[in-house]
Chains A and B, each alone.
Chain A
Amino acid sequence: MVRDASTLEEPCYHAVMKEAAAPLAKQPGTSTRKARTKKHIVTPGTVEQISRGVGVTKRDIALVTKVLSELGYVRDEKSGAPIRPRRGSENRKS
């Protein structure tokens, strides 16, 4: 005799088991698998807000600017050409 597993009070290891979730799962657009992750939505900060948040110092900014410019990531707004500092210019007295 086939009994509905969902109505059994005792474990149904020896009974022929129906899928308890079948009526729901067979509806179109439904899935037995729950959503994997609820995304955490971030309100994006600005560079300054993020920097302040992690405690970036003026010294950090100076070093970052120097390195970015040496690697050619700081570009002239008009020409688009990389602005590279002259060698040793950071040690020179103005």
Chain B
Amino acid sequence: MLLADRAVFLNIPFDSKYRPLFIALIAGLAALGSEPHCVLEVPSAGRNRLDRIYGLIESCGSSIHDLSRVSLSGKLRVPRFNMPFELGLAYSIGRRQDHSFFVLERVPHRLQATLSDLNGHDPHIHHGTQDGIYRCILDCFGTSGREPSITTLRSLGRRLGQVVAKLEREQALRDPFHPYVFRQAVRVAAEFAQAEGLLRFS
């Protein structure tokens, strides 16, 4: 059973351009002592995938939805609807239980054009940078422990990026969007956060 208040569901694009921001999200969230989760934990070929995704979001006390990828993709050049759909699930969960959801965007005011139903919910703009992600995390989340500074988050993110690159090489992978690299990255980020005195020792 997950402890809901520290479990954060990440609804993010899995593409190579997003890699630095993915690293920044894991580093930033681990620095606050939270527990990042994402859809990589749900087998893509399994039955009841949607139920399992819903269950995963439901078990988290909060979620982050980065809707900065609005491009067409794949051979058919179509937009992918998974991420806005998962945001809809989170919204619905938030209506009936304690669940905070935060929307991230790269470009200011664009969400009003792409998802006008969400007008009234200000997205957090990261401008496609790691620093932007750290600011968004510090805007959205607080901790009952020691609050990290943006300088600490930068340092954690830089070191995590280096370790994740080596973990990818060790496992002959070209990107970190795999369940085991995700788990390993969370472990490394938590260890770095502990070394910085942000997490208590068990």
Measured in the bound complex, the distance between the Cα atoms of B32 and A47 in whole Å is 12
Nearest chain A residue, comparing its CB with the CB of B37: A54
- List 29 contacting pairs A-B, 8 Å CB cutoff, sorted by A: A37-B102, A37-B124, A39-B139, A40-B102, A40-B140, A42-B5, A42-B34, A43-B144, A44-B33, A45-B199, A46-B199, A47-B187, A47-B193, A49-B35, A49-B202, A50-B33, A50-B187, A50-B190, A50-B199, A53-B6, A54-B183, A54-B187, A55-B41, A60-B180, A60-B187, A64-B167, A67-B167, A71-B162, A73-B163
Tell me if A36 is interfacial: C-beta within 8 Å of chain B: yes
Specify which chain A residues have a CB less than 8 angstroms from the CB of B41 in the assembled complex: 54-55
Tell me if A77 is interfacial: C-beta within 8 Å of chain B: no
A73 shortest CB reach to chain B, Å: 7
How many chain A residues touch B (Cβ–Cβ < 8 Å)? 30
Measured in the bound complex, the distance between the Cα atoms of B102 and A91 in whole Å is 46
B3 close to A55 (CB less than 8 A): no
Measured in the bound complex, the distance between the Cα atoms of B201 and A65 in whole Å is 17
Tell me if B36 is interfacial: C-beta within 8 Å of chain A: yes
Tell me if A5 is interfacial: C-beta within 8 Å of chain B: no
Interface size class of B (residues with CB under 8 A): 35 or more
Write the B166-181 contact mask toward A (1 if CB under 8 angstroms, else 0): 1100110000000010
Write the B54-75 contact mask toward A (1 if CB under 8 angstroms, else 0): 0000000110000000000000
Tell me if B43 is interfacial: C-beta within 8 Å of chain A: no
